[in-house]
Amino acid sequence: MNFLGRRVYGAAAILLGLIGLWWGDFASTWQPVPDGTPHRRLLAYAAAVVFIVAGAALQRRRFAGPAALALATLYAVFALLWANRVIGAPAVAGTWLGLAEELGLVVGGIVAYASLDNGARAAAIAHAGRIVFGLCLVVYAMGHFFYLPQTAAMVPKRLPPDAMFWAAATGVGHLAAGIALISGVCARLAAILATAMFAAFGLLVWLPLLTGAPTVHMNWGGTGVTLALVGSIWIVADAIRQFRLSGPLGR
């Protein structure tokens, strides 16, 4: 049984934890804990420790269940903070995008936990996770389309034909993959291609930003979250194979 996705998801958690310890803060942009939160710095260190411990534990099957739930819970806290922003500004596409990014990471932890079993309940959880991640991908696509110039600005200039093309093309890719995961049609192929696309974002967008400006907190946060999304969608792809969730209606 392939658990590479789980290992990548755990490695990303370790990276996010190390980032949190180094900066004494939550990941820039993606973990929107308000500045006025009491003991905010202490909470950031506590979250960083949870990330590191859970990420390391996720590498061992014996401890993978509690570790996956711990990470899913931590990401759920950040998702709730984004949900609060959605309630406050429902017309702002960026708040929905932030919520969807954290929900995608929640799905990874929950599906990783379910994948440790092979029963009907575990299959049902994985099936629901596939659909929720599909919905998240649709939101990612909308984020590309609503913020097309901003997305294009992050595309390496050396990629032909031009940055605007790739900003739109990756949005279409998100949308197609989301529809496939929701419907179950070619779901595993879509999850594999989405995994490759997120990995490409990390290699072509965030890694150059990180190496060019290694002292910028946001560059580290973006790299860590992107790696976590790679692991999360990879976990979904693994689960689709494990539980045979492809087909018009899944299992």
What pLDDT digit, counting tens, does each position of 2-35 carry?
589 999 999 999 999 999 999 999 998 899 999 9
119-123, 130-134, 244-248: which has the highest mean pLDDT? 130-134
Query: Is the per-residue pLDDT at 248 higher than 60?
Result: no
pLDDT of res. 2: 59
For residue 1, is pLDDT > 50? no
| Mean of per-residue pLDDT scores for the chain | 94
**Structural domain containing residue 221:** 4-243
Q: Is residue 41 part of a domain?
A: yes
Long-range contact pairs involving 181-185 (C-beta distance under 8 Å, separation at least 24): 181/130, 181/131, 181/133, 181/134, 181/137, 181/236, 182/131, 182/134, 182/135, 182/138, 183/134, 183/248, 184/130, 184/245, 184/246, 184/247, 184/248, 184/249, 184/250, 185/246, 185/247, 185/248
Mean pLDDT across the stretch 148-163? Answer: 91
In three-state secondary structure terms, 87 is: helix
Q: How confident is the model at residue 157, as a pLDDT?
A: 87
251 pLDDT higher than 60: no
Is the residue at 251 inside a domain?
no
Residue 249 maps to a domain = no
Closest C-alpha to 54, from 26, 114, 13, 94: 13
In this structure, is residue 190 part of a structural domain? yes
User: Is 192 within a domain?
Assistant: yes
